[in-house]
């Protein structure tokens, strides 16, 4: 069956591996993270930022968060719009910044749905960190995708044995990837509305292949959404659809099964 956790609530929400620009929202503050430690400054929202970082740091494996996350940004574009993002701070993919909209990501809310949505956002962004860091992607400029080569992202070229390349090889066959690439080149580089309409059409044409409509935006978002379903949902004992097989994809990696166990234990206090 389709992964149903918070899907209705998340329709229209966007989380991304690329941080929103100033034009897309108001920056509330920026804070340095050193080896997992939140560095205080005089920005007005420091207490909110400190709390949000403490939540993130308490949920996810320390080794990875200490190694990669070097900056926290609070940015808002209003309620129930973009909830968060993750973006590389250098061209080597070794340092990253986490962007959170504190209006949407609110672990102090009395609304259980809001808290669960907040968990969903952070798990999704951590999925980007797992799949786009320097152990997974070789830096390089975006080029045309060759079906015989590893998958190419905005961050660079995936290693052949990377999570993302293996995911694309298994679930994004040549036709689907070619159609998606066509939409990117002919619609997404020029006008967002047409881009979103075409991507939603891609989702509708391949409904059983994707966990959510947002997963059809790119292989990067697809693996992050599938990772989130893997962490927050149950193992599909007899997967029938491609979307169900995507959830089970992560069970072949011992380290990801361990991360899932750690995260599921740590989120209980916030549910």
DSSP for 192-260 reads HHHHHHHHHHHHHHTGGG-SSGGGGG-HHHHHHHHHHHHHHS---SS--SHHHHHHHHGGG-HHHHHHH
Cβ atoms of residues 85 and 124 within 8 Å: no
Count how many residues are written for the chain.
Answer: 271
Question: In this structure, how many other beta carbons lie within 10 angstroms of the beta carbon of residue 62?
Answer: 12
Cα separation of 257 and 249, whole Å? 11
Q: Which H or E element spans position 190?
A: none
State the pTM of this model: 0.89
Strands 82-88, 37-38: pairing kind: unpaired
* Tens of each residue's pLDDT in the chain, 271 residues: 333 333 323 333 344 455 544 446 788 999 999 999 999 998 889 999 999 999 999 999 999 999 999 999 999 877 766 889 999 999 899 999 999 999 999 999 999 999 999 999 999 999 999 999 999 998 876 666 776 788 988 788 999 999 999 999 999 987 899 899 899 888 987 777 789 999 999 999 999 999 999 999 999 999 999 999 999 999 999 999 999 999 999 999 999 999 999 999 999 999 8
DSSP-assigned letter for residue 9: H
Residue 117 phi/psi, 5-degree rounding, is -65, -35
Q: What's the pLDDT score for residue 140?
A: 73
Q: What's the pLDDT score for residue 43?
A: 85
Annotated domain spans of the chain: 14-132, 140-254
């Amino acid at each position: 069956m389709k992964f149903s956790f918070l899907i209705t609530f998340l329709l229209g929400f966007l989380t991304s591996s690329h941080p929103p620009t100033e034009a897309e929202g108001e920056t509330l503050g920026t804070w340095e993270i050193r080896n997992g430690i939140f560095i205080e400054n005089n920005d007005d929202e420091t207490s909110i930022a400190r709390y949000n970082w403490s939540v993130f740091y308490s949920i996810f494996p320390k080794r990875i968060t200490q190694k990669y996350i070097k900056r926290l940004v609070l940015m808002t574009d209003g309620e129930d719009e973009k909830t968060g993002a993750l973006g590389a701070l250098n061209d080597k993919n070794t340092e990253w910044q986490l962007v959170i909209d504190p209006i949407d990501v609110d672990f102090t809310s009395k609304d259980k749905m809001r808290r669960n949505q907040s968990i969903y956002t952070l798990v999704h962004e951590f999925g980007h960190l797992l799949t786009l860091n320097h152990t997974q992607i070789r830096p390089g400029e975006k080029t045309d995708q060759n079906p015989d080569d590893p998958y190419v992202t905005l961050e660079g070229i995936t290693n052949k044995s990377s999570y993302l390349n293996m995911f694309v090889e298994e679930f994004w066959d040549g036709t689907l990837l070619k159609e998606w690439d066509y939409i990117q080149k002919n619609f997404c580089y020029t006008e967002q509305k047409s881009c979103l309409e075409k991507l939603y059409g891609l989702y509708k044409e391949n409904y059983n292949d994707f966990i959510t409509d947002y997963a059809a935006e790119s292989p990067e978002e697809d693996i992050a959404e599938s990772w989130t379903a893997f962490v927050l949902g149950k193992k599909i004992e007899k997967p029938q659809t491609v979307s169900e097989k995507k959830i089970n994809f992560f069970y072949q990696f011992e380290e990801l099964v361990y991360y899932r166990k750690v995260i599921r234990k740590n989120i209980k206090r916030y549910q």
